[in-house]
Structure 1
Amino acid sequence: MARGINKVILVGNLGNDPETKYTQGGVAITRISLATTSVRKDRDGNQQERTEWHRVVFFGKLAEIAGEYLKKGSQVYVEGSIKYDKYTSQDGVEKYSTDIIADEMQMLGGRDGGERSRGPQREEYSQNRPKPQQADSFADDDIPF
């Protein structure tokens, strides 16, 4: 029997600084608000922008990294899955929420929140696999040409 796929890929900018909390067991949980903007032309040829806001949640080591290195305005690539919840508020009203549960993150732009004067820099982090290791370093004299 075939299984379903629940995969979300977002590239956007943080609308606020990350909020990190810890469970009683010491597991980090970081929440961000991520804006994605699309542009299209209307019938008159005018450009129309539409911004969607996404609630993204990180857990564990990935949450600690997101909480430490991301900040408002940072551009980030996020992979994860979508999760819908239904709950009853304290006043008895049924409410719904939609979250993106992130399992991979890649920081885009410069180290100072999108500054690109030194060229683009990327740092990739994953909940499921370790950060890629750098290749063995070698001196320029070792290059045969």
Structure 2
Amino acid sequence: MNKVVLLGRLTKDPEVRYTEGEKPVAVARYTLAVNRKYKVNGQAEADFINCVAFGKTGEFAEKYLKKGQQIAITGRLQVNNWTDKDGNKRRNTDIVVEEHYFCGGKKESSSEGQDGFYPISEDIEEDDLPF
């Protein structure tokens, strides 16, 4: 099974291009900054993960996603291998996005979230959670 679920913030607005042809398809690319669970010297570290969304999902990204927004995505991992013009073997890894979910609200800085939910401190260990 190839399933990826990520929660992070967009590092910049998605870059969207359209394929050529009779029926152009949107291809949105963006990078998601995903915090690691553990901190180093009190500082949170993040991984910067390349994401690509096609078709309607790409059009959604173009219309609604902006730099700094916190989103959750589901998708699949895709590894691309090729040989460049100099004959060097190259590889990159993308997450092909299947779904986007908005996280956080307009008042992300407030202590109480929408519908009475409260943010969980990053200092809480998994064993401390009731589920």
TM-score by length of 2: 0.75
The C-alpha deviation readout for 1:86-126, integer Å capped at 9, x for no partner, is 11122222111000001111012235xxx4369549xxxxx
- The match for 1:13 is 9
- Name the larger-Rg structure: 1
Q: Is 2:75 the partner of 1:77?
A: no
User: Are 1:30 and 1:57, in contact at CA under 8 Å, matched by a contact in 2?
Assistant: yes
1:41 shift after superposition: 5.4
Which has the bigger relative contact order, CA under 8 A and spacing at least 6?
2
Cα 1:34–1:53 change in 2 (3 A) is: same
Structural mapping, 1:25-104, within 5 Å: 25-40=23-38, 46-104=41-99
Checking the alignment, whether the CA contact within 8 Å between 2:31 and 2:50 is kept in structure 1 is yes
> Which residue matches 2:118?
none
8 Å CA contact 1:7–1:80 kept in 2: the answer is yes
**2:19 corresponds to which of 20, 23, 28:** 23
Q: Supply the RMSD in Å over aligned alpha carbons.
A: 2.1
Matched residues in 1 for 2:61 and 2:114: separation? 19
1:125 aligned residue: none
Segments of 5+ residues of structure 1 without an aligned counterpart are: 122-145
**Rounded Cα–Cα distance in structure 2 between residues aligned with 1:53 and 1:37:** 9
Q: Secondary structure at the match of 2:24?
A: coil
| Percent of residue pairs bearing the same amino acid type | 39
TM-score between both structures, scaled by the size of structure 1: 0.68
Distance 1:66 1:48, change over 3 A: same
Q: SS at 2:57's partner residue?
A: helix
